[in-house]
Amino acid sequence: MNSVLLNYILKNFSKSLLMVILIVFCFGIILNLFEEIEFFKNSNAGALKPFFLTILLVPSLIIKLLPFIIFISSMWFMIKIRNNNDLLILKIYGYSNLKIFSILAVTSFLFGWIVLSLVSPVTSTMVQYYEKTKSTFARDIDHLVTFNKNGLWMKESLESGGRIISAENINGTILSKLTIFEFNTEFILKKKIFSEKADIKTNKWLLSEVTVFNSANNIFKKKTYDSLILTSVYDYQKITNLFSNSDTISFVDLIINYRDLVSKGYNKQYLDQTYQTMLTLPFFLFLMTAIAAILTLYTLKKENNLKFIFLGLIICVFVYYFKDLSIALGKTDRIPLILSIWSPVIALSFFTFIGVLQINEN
């Protein structure tokens, strides 16, 4: 009988979770599809391209909303078993509120780890493809930055033409083995610049050990400098911000390729923040299930579901803004960054611990 009841709880909870995910997925497609259609309306892309890209993007949005999806799914399941008296039957067969909560919470916790280890690598690859595909259709792209196996590449528009910059490596604010090609408005090469390193802390780049080839009548004349100032639209902060989309990096990437990402120029603080944020996901799923249990399992009486919907919305909004506020304090160095990421988890843990003890007495 215990295995039958356990199977019933897990099966119906999984159904509720899948149903909520499908609903969010459909809403995500509808909302994002309008944005993609607007983007592609003046391009020669096929009619299915906006829909295809939307399919690629929405799963990563679902992962971001997973704590709230779990919360809604848990409330939905527990309200249903209470209103149809299944909760009473479970209690008769020895399933206390604490035991039911434990089954659901542990399931949510394990589901979080499955998402991080198996789903996240897939969705990050999908988002990478989404961004690369969409960038090929972007209109009026004057400035581009990309990392590849050959290092860092940048395209920059100038009033007099354009500039292509490449660097073999980036270490903090220092670019090494820098090569710069400057073109006129007719894309004719006018200048070549080679530098051993460049400090890009500001948009006034300080180049060291510089060799410049200037074109005069199609003949390049060489000049050397110990140092040279180059004005660019880019600085270190702007470049790193262009690569601060955590959706393109999976939890597995952060564990296995952390050093490679840092060596490619990703900001170490940003990678640490992303890693710690992802690490909190299973704990948030556990705690959101606990909050749902506290709200619904305190009584066997049937009650107005609108009340639970209203309370659920308030709690979701509170948790969302609490997380954002805490991370903002960490980014501004008011509190340590890691503490700012884990503070919501710690605070919710105290609340849920007291609440779970209360429902266990009922």
pLDDT tens, position by position, 51-60: 888 999 999 9
| In a domain? residue 341 | yes
Domain of residue 178 covers 144-233
Average pLDDT, the chain: 82
What does residue 336 show for φ and ψ, rounded to 5 degrees? -55, 145
For the ranges 25-39, 99-113, 287-301, 340-354, the maximum mean pLDDT occurs at 99-113
* Whether pLDDT at 139 is above 70: no
Q: What are the pLDDT digits (tens) for 70-84?
A: 999 998 898 888 888
In contact, 147 and 265? CB cutoff 8 Å: yes
Long-range contacts of 213-221 (CB under 8 A, 24+ apart): 214/190, 215/189, 215/190, 215/191, 220/192
Same structural domain, 91 and 188: no
User: Residue 12 falls within a domain, yes or no?
Assistant: yes
Q: Average pLDDT, stretch 85-109?
A: 86
The pLDDT score that the predictor gives to residue 140 is 42
User: Residue range 161-168: average pLDDT?
Assistant: 85
198-212, 222-236, 237-251, 261-275 — which is least confidently predicted? 237-251
Please indicate, yes or no, if residue 174 is contained in any of the structural domains: yes
The 3-class secondary structure across 90-152, one letter per residue, is: HHHCCCCHHHHHHHHHHHHHHHHHHHHHHHHHHHHHHHHHHHHHHHHCCCCCCCEEEEECCEE
Of 233, 257, 277, at which residue does a domain stop?
A: 233
Q: Please determine, for residue 285, whether its predicted confidence score (pLDDT) is greater than 60.
A: yes
Q: What angle do CA 351, 357, 359 make, to 5 degrees?
A: 100
Q: Is residue 62 part of a domain?
A: yes
| Separation of CA 226 from chain center | 42
Domain match, 79 and 159 both: no
Last residue of a domain, one of 205, 233, 261: 233
**Maximum distance among all Cα pairs of the chain, rounded to whole angstroms:** 95
Q: Are residues 187 and 222 in the same domain?
A: yes
**The pLDDT value given to residue 27:** 92
Q: Compare 41 and 226 and report the one with higher pLDDT.
A: 226
Kind plus residue range of the DSSP H or E element containing 19: helix 2-40
Residues sharing a CB contact under 8 Å with residue 284, sequence separation 6 or more, in sequence order? 66, 67, 112, 344, 345, 348
The 3-state DSSP class for residue 177 equals strand
Separation CA 188–CA 16 (nearest Å): 62
Same domain for 255 and 226: no
The more confident residue out of 104 and 171 is 104
231 vs 305: which has the higher pLDDT: 231
* 217 shares its domain with 252: no
> In terms of domains, do 133 and 152 share one?
no
In a domain, 57, yes or no: yes
Beta bridge partners of 219: 216
pLDDT for position 243: 59
Residue bearing tokens 């200037």: 214
**Predicted local distance difference test score (pLDDT) of residue 101:** 87
- 134 shares a domain with 272: yes
Same domain assignment for residues 165 and 216: yes
Q: Are residues 32 and 159 in the same domain?
A: no
Confidence of residue 25 (pLDDT cuts 50, 70, 90): very high
Question: Mean of the pLDDT values across residues 231-245?
Answer: 72
* Band of pLDDT at residue 247, cut at 50, 70 and 90: confident
Contacts of 55 by beta carbon, 8 Å cutoff, 6+ apart: 29
Answer yes or no: do 178 and 125 share one domain.
Answer: no
Q: In this structure, is residue 242 part of a structural domain?
A: no
- As a whole number, mean pLDDT of residues 253-277 equals 79
More confident residue, 211 or 171: 211
- 23 and 107 part of one domain: yes
Q: Which residue has the tokens 């979080």?
A: 112
Q: Are residues 37 and 127 in the same domain?
A: yes
Mean pLDDT of 92-104: 85
Q: Which of 13-22, 140-149, 207-216, 302-311 has the highest mean pLDDT?
A: 13-22
12-37: average pLDDT: 91
Share of the chain above pLDDT 90, in %: 23
Average pLDDT over residues 233-248: 70
Neighbours of 101 (CB within 10 A): 23
Per-residue pLDDT at 289 exceeds 60: yes
Give the pair of three-digit tokens for residue 196: 């051993």
Q: Which residue has the tokens 């639970």?
A: 308
Sheet containing 151-158, strands listed edge to edge, beginning at the edge strand earlier in sequence: 144-148, 151-158, 161-171, 174-184, 189-199, 204-216, 219-231
Average pLDDT over residues 26-32: 91
* Domains identified in the chain, total number: 2
What does the pLDDT look like over 107-123, one tens digit per residue? 999 999 999 999 999 99
The pLDDT of 220-241, averaged and rounded, is 82
The answer to whether residue 141 scores a pLDDT higher than 50 is no
CB 32 within 8 Å of CB 99: no
